[in-house]
């Protein structure tokens, strides 16, 4: 992911919705935001297969490990901040995904968000 650098966000804005065009599969439901500004990409997961399977078994901590994998994968992208405030497996009402592209100039001064 790090090697994608400056093209990550435009690529995600095209590929992710295209990949889910025919649906996201059993147990998953997403909300897409098509009105995002150029430097931002947002979507929410409103139904999560992990949460559906693990909640009745009181094993949501295992699902939260999958949520943490997103932070590991997206949390250190060059010039791109991954922002998530809640997940279904951590008791939230949704899993929110927000990617914000920052200026590549050294003086931009942005600070990474602490995502859950």
65 occurs within a structural domain: yes
The number of domains in the chain is 1
90 occurs within a structural domain: yes
77 occurs within a structural domain: yes
Q: What is the pLDDT of residues 45-81, one digit of tens each?
A: 999 999 999 999 999 999 999 999 999 999 988 888 9
d(CA 4, CA 98): 17
75 occurs within a structural domain: yes
Tell me which residue range forms the domain holding 66.
27-108
31 occurs within a structural domain: yes
10 occurs within a structural domain: no
21-25, 80-84, 99-103: which has the highest mean pLDDT? 80-84
Closest CA to 97 of 35, 41, 37, 50: 41
Per residue in 38-52, is it b (16+ CB within 10 Å) or e — as a string?
eebbbbbbeebbbbe
Task: Report pTM.
Answer: 0.85
Q: Is the pLDDT of residue 95 over 90?
A: yes
């Amino acid at each position: 992911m790090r090697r994608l650098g400056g093209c990550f966000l435009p690529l995600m804005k095209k590929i992710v919705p295209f990949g889910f065009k025919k649906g996201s599969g059993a147990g998953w439901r997403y909300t897409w935001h098509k009105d995002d500004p150029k430097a931002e990409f947002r979507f929410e997961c409103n139904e999560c297969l992990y949460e559906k399977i693990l909640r009745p078994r009181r094993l949501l901590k295992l699902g939260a490990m999958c949520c943490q994998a997103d932070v590991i994968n997206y949390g250190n992208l060059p010039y791109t901040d991954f922002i998530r405030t809640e997940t279904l497996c951590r008791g939230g009402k949704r899993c929110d995904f927000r990617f914000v592209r920052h200026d590549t100039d050294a003086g931009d001064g942005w600070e990474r968000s602490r995502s859950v």
